[in-house]
Amino acid sequence: MSRDNARPEKILLKVDDLHVAYGKAEVVHGVSLDVRAGEFVVVLGRNGAGKSTLMHAISGLVPKRGGTVTFEGQDLTHATPRQTVQAGIVQVLEGHRVFHTLTVEDNLLIGTYARTPHGDRSKLDAIYALFPEMAEKRHQMASRLSGGQQQILAVAQGVIGEPRLLILDEPSGGLAPLVVDRILSVASDLCKSGLAILLVEQLVEKALHHAHYAYLMETGRMVTAASSREIAQGDLLHRVFLGGGEPVDQVEVL
């Protein structure tokens, strides 16, 4: 995809005027966003802005109070998490959650269950080619992996389900910079091969370096949306992250 400011025309995911509440407390107040075919989109925002809640609502993990979610023209507003996965959206949750008492390979097979109830071993070779560090450890318990390896396993578990949109919620959480770079460059490569990416991230520089388009979220609302280049050069980013996030003086956009 070109790095100019024009977005691809084809809309994959469309979120319109989404409201989400926990009990009586609404935390997402009418958010709209879209992800286009072939795009790598990032949602930036400080702690508690509602980023994870927004992603959970898209995935059907929390109920929506209002608004709509459509994916490739299919209405997913009331879809269950399983229906969302079957429609082609897979979310890798915050906090590298994998099943500690299962092997790496069994964790990967779980990623195929939504489409194939007994697991699909035929997908393993392609995943090991993409994530060679997992091939070496295929028979190890996930509990024996480092935090970074567990996050890579979590991403691989998402990718093996063959989504058309992969949602990554703060894959950098608590991990060493080299691991973060590895995960984001895998995401970029996947995007180049046709998978759309929706990333939530607090590492602003790294996220803008890889993403094509960015949304800024503040206390449950989208405050701006523009190409990564424009966001990186704009003042709003400084305001949103004032007192938080990392400095954004020299964001190098690919």
Ligand X SMILES: Nc1ncnc2c1ncn2[C@@H]1O[C@H](COP(=O)(O)OP(=O)(O)OP(=O)(O)O)[C@@H](O)[C@H]1O
Where do contacts with Mg ion occur on this chain (CB under 5 A)?
A: 52
Under the binding rule (CB under 6 A), the answer on residue 97 touching ligand X is no
Binding mask 197-236 for ligand X (x = CB under 6 A): -----x----------------------------------
Under the binding rule (CB under 6 A), the answer on residue 22 touching ligand X is yes
Strand segments, DSSP code E, in the chain are 11-22, 25-36, 40-45, 66-71, 74-75, 89-92, 165-169, 196-201, 213-218, 221-227
Under the binding rule (CB under 6 A), the answer on residue 24 touching ligand X is no
User: In whole angstroms, what is the distance from residue 68 CA to residue 18 CA?
Assistant: 6
Structure tokens at 41: 């989109």
User: In whole angstroms, what is the distance from residue 29 CA to residue 54 CA?
Assistant: 10
Under the binding rule (CB under 6 A), the answer on residue 47 touching ligand X is yes
Find the binder of ligand X among 31, 34, 42, 45 (CB under 6 A): 45
Backbone angles phi, psi at 143, to 5 degrees: -60, -20
User: In whole angstroms, what is the distance from residue 67 CA to residue 248 CA?
Assistant: 33
Q: Are the CB atoms for 216 and 236 separated by under 8 Å? A: yes
**Eight-state DSSP code of residue 99:** -
Q: Which of the stretches 4-12, 40-48, 119-127, 237-245 binds ligand X when contact is defined by CB under 6 A?
A: 40-48
Could you say which of ligand X, Mg ion, none residue 228 binds, taking C-beta under 5 to 8 angstroms by partner kind?
A: none
Closest approach of Cβ 23 to ligand X, in Å? 7
Closest approach of Cβ 117 to ligand X, in Å? 29
CA atoms within 13 A of residue 122's CA, in its CB half-sphere: 4
- 215, amino acid identity: Y
Q: Which of the stretches 45-53, 100-108, 112-120, 123-131 binds ligand X when contact is defined by CB under 6 A?
A: 45-53
Q: Which of the stretches 51-59, 98-106, 125-133, 229-237 binds ligand X when contact is defined by CB under 6 A?
A: 51-59
Could you say which of ligand X, Mg ion, none residue 26 binds, taking C-beta under 5 to 8 angstroms by partner kind?
A: none
Under the binding rule (CB under 6 A), the answer on residue 49 touching ligand X is yes
Closest approach of Cβ 51 to ligand X, in Å? 3
Give the nearer residue to ligand X in terms of CB position, either 76 or 203.
203
Find the binder of ligand X among 48, 63, 177, 244 (CB under 6 A): 48
The b-or-e profile of 132-151 (16+ CB within 10 A means b, else e) is: eebeebeeeebeebeebbbb
> Which region, left, alpha or beta, applies to residue 91 given φ > 0 means left and ψ of -120 to 50 means alpha?
beta
Give the nearer residue to Mg ion in terms of CB position, either 124 or 199.
199
Applying CB under 6 A, the residues found at the interface with ligand X are 22, 27, 45, 47-53, 94, 202
